[in-house]
Amino acid sequence: MQSFMPIIIATASVAVIGLLIGLLLIVVGNKFKVEVDERVAAVRECLPGNNCGGCGFAGCDALAEAIAAGKAPVNACPVGGAPVGEKVGRIMGVTAEEKERLIAFVRCSGDCETVARRSNYVGIRDCASAVGSGLNPWACDHGCLGLGTCAAVCPFGAIKVDKGVAHVDRDKCMACGKCVAACPKHLIELVPESAQYAVQCASRDRGPAVKKVCSAGCIGCKLCTKQCEFEAITVENNIAHIDYSKCTGCGKCAEKCPAKIIRSKAERM
Amino acid sequence: MSNKTFRGGVHPEGHKEISKTQPVEVFLPKGDMVYPLNQHIGKPAKPVVKKGDKVLAGQLIAEADGFVSANIVSSCSGTVKAIEERYVASGAKAMSIVIDNDGEFTLAPGIGEERDPEGLSNEEILDAIQMAGIVGMGGAGFPARVKLAPKDPDSIEYIIANGSECEPYITCDDQLMQKEAHAIVGAIKLLMQLFPNAVGVVAIEDNKPDAIATMQGVCNNEKGISVLPVKAKYPEGGERSLIGVVTGRQLRFGQLPAELGCVVCNVSTLNAIYRAACKNEPLMERLFTVSGDAVANPRTMSVKIGTSCAELLEAAGGIKAGCEAAKVLSGGPMMGIAMPSLDVPVCKNNNAMTVMSKDEVELAEKKMTACIRCGRCGHVCPLGLVPQMMAEAAERGDYERYEKKLYGLDCIACGTCTYICPAKRPLMQLFKQTKAAIMAAKRR
């Protein structure tokens, strides 16, 4: 009998201490409770989780918080696009506004066959470095350098440099906008998926100067503006630009373009 | 006893003998003259002529726009052809005044009038410098008027004439000191009038015995001006290293020379100051070295500002027969920048062009490998920076560490680390770019 006593005492004292600590935890837990919006976690579940920052917030967690707090629209995630916007909208109890998918577009098609060479750049393989050094591998001052800074920052592997010019894979691009910010030549823009035609050149030089260095450059001849019945295309600073909201995709401008740099979706691939 | 020097540095081969034995000749350009409006640090100058205007040599064509800016003067007579964007040596395009040179070089009235240096007041000296559009001609291009007007002129104790010319191949300062020693000393005397408590020191690397002898001959009769031979080592001519060598005072990070009582001027700048103040001659020409192992007759010439580099290369005999030129640098091989085209003008702060053959370029362009952390870059950095850590921070995009912890903004881009790096890492390019990115972010 005597030999069991210490065991009983130990068990009882641990049980009592456990009970006391448990009670203390309940009290403290109630007192210092942090209100958490359940919707944050639910919204976060729906987001893709790439943490690419394309929405303008510091990753998916930050965006989920902003959406739950009403500081960002439910379809703010450019990567998830409409399906994610719809799901998040259901959680938040609002319907997502119609938002078209955007796709990155490189406004240059000058590759090693069309653009003349200027200098032999051997420094750091990065476009910003090349711009800083003043050495442009190509004779055109405005075009793609082809050193692949955009491809390096793309979290989705959607950009490839081929023959000295960057190409965007339309299926893989999630329009996070990282390449847009990274390009030191400001050549990449986000265009609506439905945009039929786009001008694949960014040279602001005058016609003769463009012709001298590149066979795929906009010479600012304005033939396209005369063709367009919808006033969707304008030429400013010797470069044509299409207003995608006005463009109906008739393709007359592309037909007439002497340099063939107004390109349809299929040609842009 | 060996001469004084700084900590760090490297000993690249000088190659100076190939151009310094040739006599200095005046080169008169035939083609169009191009004057970029941003030949200096600060705000670009504002043109005061328009297309079609007739101008004379020595006439003001663009005036300083603001305090940190400089005038630009035509170095030829002719007609203004255009004011348009033209390529400059850095590969960028800059707004430039293009003058159709009539080949006469008719001087504007009053240019070349002798003035007695003794009778000039401080204001007259500074005004002459401002009018002449003088900038730091050693490379920086900082407007001289601003440099010579510190807050407290009495606190300046040293006027250092920088004749060290540590960059390989370049010999224009060496030859200038032999040719214009009196003008350089005359300018130091003018500066001593501006800074009454200062002494003048002419610092020359000991690989230029002729220049040292000539300068010493002139300085012997002058009170308070001495010649200091310094050890031939790159980058001895860097402002910060030179102040340490001459005065024993070490500039802290972010400090300016004036805070330690020093004013450092290149000898070319001093020559221009003397001519502006005592001969009423604005900055129209300078000595310019055309050298490199691919040049037929490497030489130093007295050239007009705005002359096309293509014309100068031709004047130096063009490319050596049987030699394949691979790279043209504006400046020397250490700090020079590769020029995208020969059709760029000589600016006030350009002192040389170096044409390198294919063999030499291939030697320098070995394949880059990973950093092996040997620490040689830190050992040779004249500023005591740690390029290896700076490169790591820069590559990671950690600009705060680069600037605040590693003092990367003080890098003078001398290229010493790149020269010594056994892994052939392009450190200097990385630092230049990072510095530019940080400065751009600050301005925003």
My answer on whether A180 and A121 are in the same domain is yes
What is the arithmetic mean of pLDDT over B330-346?
Answer: 88
Q: Find the mean pLDDT for residues B317-343.
A: 87
CB contact under 8 A, A122 and B365: yes
Does residue B114 fall inside a structural domain?
no
Q: How large a percentage of chain B has pLDDT more than 70?
A: 99
Say whether pLDDT at B1 is over 50.
no
Mean pLDDT of all residues in B13-36: 90
Structure confidence at residue B355 (pLDDT) = 92
| CATH code assigned at B254 | 3.40.50.11540
- In this prediction, residue A96 carries a pLDDT of 67
What ipTM was predicted for this assembly? 0.76
Place of tokens 């002459």: B128
Shared domain for A130 and A216, answered yes or no, is yes
Check if B426 contacts A (Cβ < 8 Å): yes
List the single residue in B326, B341, B432 with the smallest CB-CB distance to A132: B432
Task: Say yes or no to pLDDT of B308 above 90.
Answer: yes
Q: Which amino acid is at A244?
A: Y
Q: Which of A49, A69, A92 is the last residue of a domain?
A: A92
Q: Chain B partners of A122 at a C-beta cutoff of 8 Å? A: 365
| B264 DSSP β-pair partners | B160
- Dihedral class, residue B318 (left if φ above 0, else alpha if ψ from -120 to 50, else beta): left
Q: How far is CA B393 from the centre of its chain?
A: 30
Looking at the structure, do residues A109 and A87 belong to the same domain, yes or no? Answer: no
Nearest by Cα to A261 from A106, A133, A128: A106
pLDDT digits (tens, 9 = 90+) for B129-182: 999 999 999 888 899 988 888 888 889 999 999 999 899 999 999 999 999 999
Of A58, A92, A126, which residue sits at a domain end?
Answer: A92
Same domain for A120 and A67: no
Residue A199 placed within a domain? yes
Interface test with B, best of A118, A135, A185 (most B CBs within 10 A): A135
pLDDT at B322: 83
**Do residues A247 and A183 share a domain?**
yes
pLDDT in tens, B226-266: 999 999 898 888 888 899 889 988 888 888 888 889 999 99
Facing residues of B36 across strands? Answer: B96
Closest to B337 measured CA to CA, from A121, A109, A102, A238: A121
Asked if B171 and B289 count as a contact pair (C-beta separation under 8 A), the reply is yes
Q: What is the mean pLDDT of residues B391-396?
A: 91
Q: Are residues A186 and A237 in the same domain?
A: yes
A149 located within any domain = yes
Residue A78 maps to which CATH number? 1.10.15.40
A116 located within any domain: yes
Domain, as residue range, for A111:
102-268
Same domain, A117 and A79: no
Could you tell me if B148 and B272 lie in one domain? yes
Task: Report pLDDT for B393.
Answer: 93
β-strand partners of A235: A240
Residues A133, A51 share a domain: no
Residue percentage of chain B with pLDDT more than 90: 47
B252, burial (CB in 10 Å: exposed 0-12, middle 13-18, buried 19+) = exposed
- What is the domain count for chain A? 2
On whether both A72 and A115 belong to a single domain, the answer is no
Give me the residues of B, 82-121, that contact A with CB < 8 A.
Answer: 90-93
Question: What span, in angstroms and rounded, lies between the C-alpha atoms of B48 and A41?
Answer: 66
How far is the C-alpha of A248 from the C-alpha of A23, rounded, in Å? 71
Distance set, CA B148 to CA B121, B154, B192, B201, B393 (Å): 14, 12, 11, 16, 36
Is the CB of A24 inside 8 Å of chain B's CB atoms?
A: no
Query: pLDDT value at position B76?
Result: 92
C-beta atoms of A129 and B90 within 8 A: no
Q: What is the pLDDT, as a whole number, of residue B3? A: 80
Q: Residue A251: inside a domain, yes or no?
A: yes
DSSP assignment letter at A215: S
Question: Looking up tokens 């909201």, which residue turns up?
Answer: A245
Nearest CB to B92; choose among A124, A128, A134: A134
**CB under 8 Å, gap of 24 or more: what pairs does A40-49 form?**
A40/A64, A40/A65, A40/A68, A42/A91, A43/A67, A43/A68, A43/A88, A43/A91, A43/A92, A46/A80, A46/A84, A46/A87, A46/A88, A46/A91, A47/A77, A47/A80, A47/A84, A47/A88, A48/A77, A48/A79, A48/A80, A48/A84
B296 belongs to a structural domain? no
Note whether residue A97 is domain-resident. no
Q: What is the pLDDT of residue B289?
A: 93
In degrees, to the nearest 5, what angle opens at C-alpha B210 toward C-alphas B415 and B280?
A: 85
Low-confidence stretches of chain A (pLDDT beneath 50): none
pLDDT one-digit tens code per residue, A213-223: 888 889 988 88
Residue ranges in B23-136 assigned as alpha helix (H): 122-132
| Domain annotation covers residue A32 | no
CA distance A137 to chain B (A): 9
Q: For residue A125, what pLDDT is reported?
A: 85
Q: Is residue A212 part of a domain?
A: yes
If asked whether residues A162 and A119 sit together in one domain, one would say yes
Q: What is the pLDDT of residue A1?
A: 61
User: If you search the block for the tokens 């600590």, which residue do you land on?
Assistant: A21
Q: What pLDDT was estimated at residue B305? A: 92
Whether residue B402 lies inside any domain: the answer is: yes
Q: Which of A119, A120, A134 sits opposite B90 (nearest CB)?
A: A134
Q: Is residue B266 part of a domain?
A: yes
Q: How confident is the model at residue B185 (pLDDT cuts 50, 70, 90)?
A: very high
What sign does the dihedral B288-B292-B294-B297 (CA atoms) show? positive
CATH code of the domain covering residue A145 = 3.30.70.20
Please report the DSSP string for A67-122 in residue order. Answer: HHTTSS-TT--TTTHHHHHHHHHHHHTSPPPP---EEEEES----TTTBPB-----
Find which of A117, A129, A133 to mutate to test the B interface (most B CBs within 10 Å of its CB). A133
B90 assigned to some structural domain: no
Residue B381 scores a pLDDT above 90: yes
* pLDDT at position B301: 92
Which chain B residue shows the shortest CA-CA distance from A122? B365
Question: Cβ of B369 under 8 Å from any chain A Cβ?
Answer: no
**In the listed set B279, B310, B341, which residue is the last one of a domain according to the structure?**
B279
Distance separating alpha carbons of residues A159 and A161, to the nearest angstrom: 7
| Cβ-defined contact of A133 to B93 (cutoff 8 Å) | no
User: Which domain covers residue B175, as residue numbers?
Assistant: 135-279
* CB B16 within 8 Å of CB B207: yes
Q: Residue A13 domain-assigned?
A: no
Cα–Cα dist B10/B296, whole Å: 28
Pick from A133, A136, A141: CB nearest B429 = A133
Is there a single domain that holds both residue A76 and residue A114?
no
d(CA A234, CA A232): 7
Any A CB within 8 A of B441 CB: no
pLDDT given for residue A82 in this prediction: 81
Angle at B82 between CA B77 and CA B88, to 5 degrees: 90
Kindly provide the b/e burial profile for residues A93-110, where b requires at least 16 CB atoms within 10 angstroms of the residue's own CB: eeebeeeeebbbbbbbbb
Q: Do B433 and A134 touch (CB under 8 A)?
A: no
Helix (H, G, I), strand (E, B) or coil at B47: strand
A126 to chain B: closest CA residue:
B430
**Minimal C-alpha gap between B90 and chain A (Å):** 5
Q: Which of residues 141-170 of A touch B (CB under 8 A)?
A: 141
Do B409 and B435 contact (CB within 8 A), yes or no?
yes
Q: Is residue B306 part of a domain?
A: no
Q: Taking CB atoms and an 8 Å limit, are A132 and B338 in contact across chains?
A: no
> 3-class DSSP state for residue B106?
coil
Nearest to B340 among A128, A132, A134 (CB): A134
For chain B, the domain total comes to 2
Write the residue in A128, A135, A141 that is nearest to B338 by C-beta: A135
In the block, tokens 């130096």 appear at: B316
Please report whether residue B290 resides in a domain: no
Predicted confidence (pLDDT) at residue B113 exceeds the cutoff of 90: no
- Are A69 and A189 in a shared domain? no
**pLDDT interval class at B364 (50, 70, 90):** low
Domain edge (last residue) among B257, B279, B301: B279
CA atoms within 13 Å, Cβ hemisphere of A13: 6
Cα dist from A78 to A43, A103, A174, whole Å: 15, 10, 6
Which position has the token pair 């009454």?
Answer: B196
A139 in reach of chain B (CB within 8 A)? no
Q: Do A128 and B437 touch (CB under 8 A)?
A: yes
CB contact under 8 A, A141 and B93: yes
Burial B273-293 (b: 16+ CB within 10 A, else e): bbbbbbbbbbbbbbbbbbbbb
Taking CB atoms and an 8 Å cut-off, how many pairs form between chains A and B? 40
The identity of residue A257, as a single letter, is C
Q: Is residue B427 part of a domain?
A: yes
